[in-house]
Amino acid sequence: MLRVDKLSKNFRSFQVLKDIHINANEGQIYGLVGSNGCGKTTLLKHIIQVFRQDSGQVYFNDQVVGERSEVIKDFYYVQDDLFFPHGSTLNSLFNFEGLLYDQMSVEKFNKLTTYFKIDPNKKLANMSKGQKKQAAFVLAMSANPKVLLLDEIVDGLDAVIRRKFWNVLIKDVVGNNMTVIISSHDLKELDNICDKVGIMHEGTIIKEEEMSSLKENLKRVQFAVAEDFEGISGDEFQIVKRIQVGKVYFMTLRGNVEAFRKALEERYQVLIFDELAVNLEEIFIAELGGAGYGTEELDA
């Protein structure tokens, strides 16, 4: 298990990470999501120990993760703003990283370069942003890390390549029991993929929970009533968001949907009532709304 415990960091007077807690299990994909500038990249750079925290600690299987600790050799970080040494090719990087990572597999490297159709002898400087991302991903997977940190990896990849990427990643998570932390602002990409989600806001994790229980706790309904709708309340549910489109109301709820439905039927003549699917985007908006983000109205 990868555990981040009470981690804090200041850049001069600005506190960029505040008392961060994370628990990511082996063989699981952990989605790190959050508003722009909330500190996702900074957190990942602390897990890999490129940055040193002011306080708190990172643990892997109860061993402290430090810049010089043995366990860090099993960590691999693919950053968002990729930088490659001048004149390097995928082949030259592979040979170099073979010195750093004990588990580097040439077999896997050859298989993946073929699968992603990347020329390992082409200069990385001459590649597009998407090709560079694929190249970095191929290197990461070839290193067979136990902990893989992916920062905005799907950003800039087209639909076909994204599919290939997930295909390779999912197989490795199951096959090698890898721990993956993947940050993204593209919530559709992470939906139904992650086991667990950490929602970050202004340098803190405001919620960390299994995706399945997040989805069980938040519900979305649409309904219409014959009378004028004057609101509804009850002990077993709480309305998080309410949108009206003509006669139809869309609501996001926490709690018991059946109790909500009964309360509605007791007070109104219900014409239609449907439960809708909840996706990660709605969960994200509901959680950040609770933290006071995105609730401002636009005065135009």
Long-range contacts of 232-236 (CB under 8 A, 24+ apart): 232/260, 232/263, 232/264, 232/267, 233/263, 234/259, 234/260, 234/263, 235/259, 236/260
Contact flag: residue 1 with another protein (CB under 8 A): no
Contact flag: residue 277 with another protein (CB under 8 A): yes
Contact flag: residue 279 with another protein (CB under 8 A): yes
Contact flag: residue 142 with another protein (CB under 8 A): no
**CA–CA separation, 170 vs 240, rounded Å?**
33
Contact flag: residue 195 with another protein (CB under 8 A): yes
Contact flag: residue 52 with another protein (CB under 8 A): no
Contact flag: residue 194 with another protein (CB under 8 A): yes
Q: How far is the CB of 61 from another protein (least distance, A)?
A: 20
Q: How far is the CB of 270 from another protein (least distance, A)?
A: 15
Q: How far is the CB of 91 from another protein (least distance, A)?
A: 27
Contact flag: residue 275 with another protein (CB under 8 A): yes
With respect to another protein, which residue has the nearer C-beta, 51 or 166? 166
Report the residue from 2, 7, 28, 149 that binds another protein according to the rule CB under 8 A. Answer: 28
**CA–CA separation, 113 vs 130, rounded Å?**
14
Contact flag: residue 33 with another protein (CB under 8 A): no
Contact flag: residue 236 with another protein (CB under 8 A): no
Report the residue from 117, 129, 163, 242 that binds another protein according to the rule CB under 8 A. Answer: 163
Q: 3-state SS string over the chain?
A: CEEEEEEEEEECCEEEEEEEEEEECCCCEEEEEECCCCCHHHHHHHHCCCCCCCEEEEEECCEECCCCCHHHHHEEEECCCCCCCCCCEHHHHHHHHCCCCCCCCHHHHHHHHHHCCCCCCCEHHHCCHHHHHHHHHHHHHHCCCCEEEEECCCCCCCHHHHHHHHHHHHHHHHHHCCEEEEECCCHHHHCCCCCEEEEEECCEEEEEEEHHHHHHHEEEEEEEECCCCCCCCCCCEEEEEEEEECCEEEEEEEECHHHHHHHHHHHCCEEEEEEECCCHHHHHHHHHHHCCCCCCCCCC
Widest pairwise Cα distance in the chain: 73
Q: How far is the CB of 66 from another protein (least distance, A)?
A: 31
Q: How far is the CB of 83 from another protein (least distance, A)?
A: 30
Binding mask 197-226 for another protein (x = CB under 8 A): --------------xx--xx---x------
Contact flag: residue 160 with another protein (CB under 8 A): no
Q: How many residues bind another protein (CB under 8 A)?
A: 26
Contact flag: residue 159 with another protein (CB under 8 A): no
Report the residue from 2, 4, 22, 29 that binds another protein according to the rule CB under 8 A. Answer: 29
Contact flag: residue 252 with another protein (CB under 8 A): no
Report the residue from 44, 147, 153, 173 that binds another protein according to the rule CB under 8 A. Answer: 173
Footprint of another protein on this chain (CB under 8 A)?
28-29, 163, 166-168, 170-171, 173-175, 191-195, 211-212, 215-216, 220, 275-279
